[in-house]
A = this chain, B = another copy of it.
Amino acid sequence: MAAAAAGEPEVIRDKAAMRAWSRRQRAEGKTVVLVPTMGFLHEGHLSLVSAAAAVPGPVAVVVSIYVNPSQFAPTEDLATYPSDLAGDLRKLASTGAVHAVFNPPDLYHRGSAVSGRSAEASSCLEAGGDGHETWIRVERLEKGLCGASRPVFFRGVATVVAKLFNVVEPDVAMFGKKDYQQWRLICRMVRDLDFAIEIVGSEIMREADGLAMSSRNVHLSPEEREKALSISRSLVNARTAVLNNSNSASKHIKDQIVQTLTEAGGRVDYVEIVEQESLVPVETIDRPVVICVATWIGKVRLIDNIEIYIQS
C-alpha cells in the first residue's frame, strides 16, 4: 500500500505553514485529502484516514486536530471535551497513512474584550470588539435535528470547516456519516459556495456490540454504556420493521424507538425520520430515508442514525 510510506506525520501548527505544505504537495502532483477532527481519536477517525489513503492516485493526507469553540454553546461540554494529543499522534503514526497533522493553537481572531459582552455570548467563542464576526449559515439544513437543541452548533461547524478548507486547501475532505446532518450540511455549503473540494461521507464505525464510536463514549460509566446499546438496537429494529412493511408510518416507527430508549433509561432529545439529502421529515416511509436519534444517557448526549434505502 503506497500510503504506508507516510511514516511519522509532520505536525504543523501555523496556518501559513499549513497552506504552504499543501501547495507543495499539490505542485508535486498529489491529491491533498483532509480529515477534520476534534482529536481524541478512535477507530471511527482511523477509518476516515483509511478512506483518505484509498483516494486514487498519489495522495497527501492531512488530519486536523482542533476543538472548535464556536460550535459549543456556553452551556455545553467544551471544558470537558476529551483530548489526548500524544495518543492521537501515536495512533496516526501507526496507520502509516498520515503525512501531516494540522494542530493550530487557535483558528480565530479574538477581539479585545468588551465589558458585558460575555453575558450575551451564544457560543464558547467570545468575539467582542474587533474579533471574529463572520458566520456561515446553511439556513434550511442547520435548523432541524441537532440544530433544534444546539442553535449555534452548525453555524460553528460550517464556519470552522470553511476556515480549514481555506487554510489546508484540500482537493478531498472526509466526513463521518455518524454526524449525518453535519455531513449533508457541509455538502450543501460546498455546493452553494463553490468550494473546489470533493466531500466523501464515510460509514459509521461501531463497537462489536453495536455502539457507534464517539469521543464522548469515554464519559459513559459501565452501566450507562449498557443503556447506550439501546440506541443502535432500536435503530436496527426500526430498519427491520420498515423493510418488512411497505409504507410504514413514521410516527409508529418513531414511537417504538422512543419507547426502547426510554425503557433503557435514556432521555430522548429527538427521533426523526427524514429524507436523506434535504433532511425534511417524512410521514410515510416510501422513499430513501435516514432515521436520526439523539439521546441523553446520564450526562452524555449521544447521536446515531441509520440509512434505509427504499425504492420510491
Q: Which A residues lie at the B interface, using CB under 8 A?
A: 15, 19, 107-109, 130, 132-141, 158-159, 162-163, 166-167, 169, 188-189, 191-196, 277-278
Contacts and interface: CB of A to CB of B under 8 A. Distances in A.
A188 B141 contact: no
Contacts of A167: 194
Given A166-B193, A194-B166, A194-B167, A188 B136 contact: no
A134 B159 CA distance: 11
Contact of A15 (B140, B194, B278): B194
Given A134-B136, A163-B192, A163-B193, 6 more contacts: A109-B192, A133-B141, A134-B188, A136-B137, A163-B194, A166-B193
A101 to B, nearest CB: 18
Contacts of A189: 134
A156 to B, nearest CB: 13
A140 B128 CA distance: 10
* In the A-B complex, the 5 residue pairs with the closest CB atoms: A134-B192, A166-B194, A163-B194, A133-B140, A133-B139
Contact of A188 (B108, B133, B169, B195): B133
Nearest to A159: B193
B135 A137 contact: yes
Nearest to A155: B137
A192 B139 contact: no
25 contacts: A15-B194, A107-B194, A108-B192, A109-B191, A132-B192, A133-B138, A133-B140, A133-B192, A134-B137, A134-B139, A134-B158, A134-B188, A134-B189, A134-B192, A135-B136, A135-B137, A136-B136, A136-B137, A136-B193, A137-B137, A163-B192, A163-B194, A166-B193, A166-B196, A167-B194
Contact of A130 (B15, B134, B159, B277): B277
Contacts of A166: 193-196
Nearest to A134: B192
Contacts of A195: 166
A277 to B, nearest CB: 7
Contacts of A278: 130
Contacts of A193: 134, 136, 159, 162-163, 166
A19 B133 contact: no
Nearest to A129: B278
Residue from A132, A133, A139 whose CB has the most chain B CB atoms within 10 Å? A133
Contacts of A196: 19, 166, 169
Contacts of A192: 108-109, 132-134, 163
A162 B166 CA distance: 11
Contacts of A138: 133-134
A233 B256 CA distance: 73
A109 B140 CA distance: 14
Contacts of A19: 196
B139 A135 contact: yes
